[in-house]
Chain A
Amino acid sequence: MAFHHKILGIVTLLYLCLFFIHLIFFAFKKEKIVAVMWPLLYGTLGLHTVGLILRWLESYRHGMGHAPLSNFYESLVFYAWCVSLIVVFMKKRLNYPAITVCATVISLFLMGYASISPSVDRNIQPLVPALQSNWLHIHVLTCFLAYASFAVSFISGFLYMFTWKNVIPPRDILDEINYRSVVVGFPMLSAGIFTGAVWAHYAWGSYWSWDPKETWSLITWIVYAVFLHARLMRGWKGKKIAILSIVGFASVIFTYFGVNFILSGLHSYAT
């Protein structure tokens, strides 16, 4: 077993630890526990980064040398990393255990699925010619940061549906977090689509081919454009916005997973 696999295995266990620490907090409501949580999340994110870098270096040892962004396993691990990164980035706003526990569950699920599912190939694979481009890095980075921001938006929209005093943050705060995360995610998704289009122009000869992945990213983009207009122009708030953020994330999930498993197209690298 390669070293980076061990590191990423530890990272998965750390996400599990984080999850349990949250549960202990919800049971005992001791503020001290929250004080442990953030440093642990920083540490986990740091080790996660180390794991990704080691995998990158390992690929050079195999004579392939490419960033760990090229197959389904790598994208799952990278998505989990992006979710943690966005949580750390938006720490001031997201400093509520109810939100961080949801983010932890998402990261844990992604890491767990990546390392346990028998249908996921965990080996470092060589890059097919279409992926041998520097656009790979910026395209995948922007797309997954967008997906991660939309995950945060989904968390706040989801939590909005419930009330639990002193655990779930007040509704107006959830509403604000929802909007703020879309404000981060929407430009990222736009950048992701545009870098993808420029890359497609150089690799496939056409910047837009209505490939299912492209089409679904456009659909996702439209959903969040409607979200922003509904909020900023029509003054939508609260439940309606929460529902829109859930619909938007469903579209994200379909763009990421659904297209790979159900529809086939030019983007079939990640299956």
Chain B
Amino acid sequence: MNAIKNKAAEQVTPPGKSLFQSLQGFIASIKFSIILLTCIALGSIIGTIIKQGVGPDEYLSLYSEHTYQIINLLGLNDVYHSPWFIALLFLFAINLTLCTVRRFMPAFKGSKKASVPEESAMMDMSMSFRASTSIDDAHLFSILKGYRISYSGVEGKVFQKGVLSKYGVLFIHTSIMLILIGGFVGLVAGFKGFMVLHKGDTKNTITIGGEKPYEKPLGFSIKCKEFQVSFYPNGAPKDYVSTVEVIENGKIIFEKQIRVNEPLSYKGVHIYQASYGSAPSFTFTIGGERVSLREKEAYRNDNISLMPIRFEQDIHNFGPGIMVAYLEQGEPRTVWFVKNIERFNEKIIQGVPVRFVDIQENIYTGLSVSRDPGIWIVWAGFAFILFGLYINFFQYYRRIYIRNIAGGYLVAGIAIKNKEAFKKEFEMLREKLNGIPS
């Protein structure tokens, strides 16, 4: 009945109510919540069907140009950060707040004082009995376990249990708001980036991806002392471990091993083991000195400056080779070194003999670096929501009235939810008090 009434109230705009007021009513209605949730769900589905955040080429290989334009226009290549999706979440937050306030306002404005109903009203209740023995408070309290007294007077008493469960929905909805706020804080005040470190490297910046990647200073440095990958006998990866030092103002703060599932945390920044890879490094002897260089790593001394710039696994079936750039009388030049061919693995550059000796595979560690100041708000939201769900669905509110009448007393009980469980409880109470059904 109630539901039907609500429906009618929402749909029909009474005369004298302005369009603004009825719009206000709509925004605070559960109908609007369901529409919004459905839209959020549909938007999310689109996001799982259309590949997210890849380049135009990949879309054009999957869809026609026309479709791609539509995808681009609606932001379907990045649904979860598109303006319309965020607007939906924002509207949902407003709707949720209004619905919750509208529902709980009456309870906070001043709940009706509990009182013992009239004798006839109590007799009419579906659960009631009369008892003729006298009863003292201590005995009553021992029987009504977990109940609290909410009213006590000469005419009788009111007991209640599970008061908190009335606020379960309030807990749940507030928690959802907390999660949304926490997510928003993280989006605005947090960052997520990436850092690649070879063994021995030290870096104090991270790369923030996106359309225009840039380097962001961390405020401290990370030095990779060691990186190891271990495998199971079947070849599947078993463990990735980066041993790193956190260095701030030239001082080593601490050393830690970062593993998958075991990130490093320092000053609110979390550093995770995300990936690994390998890059070759090239060993040269330059004028008798042994030097190991990576691609695009410059070598400079008084006589010579050079840089390996391009590595090829196989050059015309002669095996691996590296192109080296150098300066000759101020002019940039390049030359290929081929490792396995005697004739091509040694060159005199600016009078210095340079020999290409060896190639080594160097593994590097990929660390993902993030800061999210909203995380604790989100965690609090999670905890509260579970608590809210528990008290809302597994606890329930019930009240027991006791009225003194001539020759004994009258007991009645009500529960709005979970009536069958309460019926059993009430039946037990009747047996304990030797009550006679009324």
- Write the residues of chain A forming the contact surface with B, with a CB cutoff of 8 angstroms: 64, 125-126, 128-130, 132-133, 183, 186-187, 190-191, 194, 197-198, 201-208, 210, 212, 215-216, 218-219, 222-223, 225-226, 229-230, 233-236, 259, 263
Residues of A within 8 A of B274 (CB): 204-205
CB neighbors of A among B288-325 (8 A): none
Point out residues on B near A: beta carbons under 8 Å. Answer: 2-4, 6-7, 30, 33-34, 37-38, 40-41, 44-45, 47-49, 52, 80, 183, 192, 232, 234, 236-240, 259-263, 270, 272-274, 368-370, 372, 375, 378-379, 382, 385-386, 389-390, 393
A203 engages B385 (CB within 8 Å) = no
From A125, A194, A218, A235, contact of B386 by CB (8 A):
A194
Contact with A129, one of B4, B34, B239, B368 (Cβ below 8 angstroms)? B239
- Report the bound CA distance from A223 to B34 in whole Å: 10
**Cα separation A132 to B273 with both chains bound (whole Å):** 13
B368–A205 contact, CB under 8 A?
yes
Which residues on the B side are within 8 Å of A259 (C-beta)? 48
Q: Is chain B's interface secondary structure helix, strand, loop, or mixed overall?
A: helix
Docked-complex contact B263 and A190, CB < 8 angstroms: no
User: How many angstroms from the CA of A187 to the CA of B395 in the assembled complex?
Assistant: 13
A230–B34 touching, CB < 8 Å: yes
B378 touches A207 (CB 8 A): yes
- Beta-carbon nearest neighbor of A202 in chain B: B261
Q: Measured between alpha carbons, how far is A225 from B176 in the docked complex, in Å?
A: 12
The distance in angstroms between the C-alpha atoms of A229 and B103, with both chains bound, is: 13
Q: How far does the alpha carbon of A203 sit from the alpha carbon of B259 in the complex, in Å?
A: 9
Give min CB distance, A12 to chain B, whole Å: 27
CB distance from B3 to the nearest CB of A (A): 3
Supply 28 A–B pairs (Cβ within 8 Å), ascending by A: A125-B234, A129-B259, A129-B260, A130-B260, A130-B261, A187-B386, A187-B390, A197-B378, A197-B382, A198-B379, A198-B382, A203-B260, A203-B261, A204-B272, A205-B263, A207-B375, A215-B47, A215-B48, A216-B44, A219-B44, A222-B40, A226-B37, A229-B33, A233-B6, A234-B7, A235-B3, A236-B3, A263-B49
- Asked if B263 contacts A202 (CB within 8 A), the reply is yes
> A218 touching B44 by the CB < 8 A rule?
yes
A201: B residues at CB distance < 8 A? 375
Chain A residue at smallest Cβ distance from B79? A210
**Cα distance, A187 to B370, chains bound together (Å):** 30
A208 touches B270 (CB 8 A): no
How many whole Å from B421's CB to the nearest CB in chain A? 12
Flag if B41 contacts A129 (CB, 8 Å).
no
User: Do A205 and B261 form a contact, CB below 8 Å, given A129-B238, A187-B389, A219-B45?
Assistant: no
Which chain A residues border B238 with CB–CB below 8 Å? Answer: 126, 129
- B218: shortest Cβ distance to chain A, in Å? 15
Q: How far is the CA of A223 from the CA of B6 in the complex (A)?
A: 22
A194 touches B30 (CB 8 A): no
Residues of B contacting A191 in the complex (Cβ-Cβ under 8 angstroms): 386
- A198→B378 CA distance, assembly (Å): 10
How many angstroms from the CA of A210 to the CA of B313 in the assembled complex?
38
Cβ contact of A190, chosen from B34, B37, B378, B385, cutoff 8 A? B385
A187-B393, A206-B370, A208-B183 known; A229-B3 Cβ under 8 A? no
Q: A198-B382, A223-B41 are in contact. Are A128 and B236 (CB under 8 A)?
A: yes
Q: Is the CB of B382 within 8 A of A205?
A: no
Known: A133-B261, A210-B52, A263-B48. A128 touches B375 (CB 8 A): no
The docked-state distance in angstroms from the alpha carbon of A18 to that of B195 is 57
CB of B382 within 8 A of CB of A194, answer yes
The answer to whether A190 and B261 touch across the interface, beta carbons within 8 angstroms, is no
Residues in A neighbouring B3, C-beta threshold 8 A: 233-236
Residue from B33, B38, B382, B389 within 8 A of A186 (CB atoms): B389
> How long is the Cα–Cα vector from A132 to B390 in the complex, in angstroms?
30
Contact call B370/A216, Cβ cutoff below 8 A: no
Q: Which of B260, B272, B385 contacts A132 (CB 8 A)?
A: B260
The 4 closest A-B pairs by CB, nearest first: A235-B3, A129-B260, A205-B272, A187-B389
Whole-angstrom CA separation of A150 from B283 in the bound complex:
62
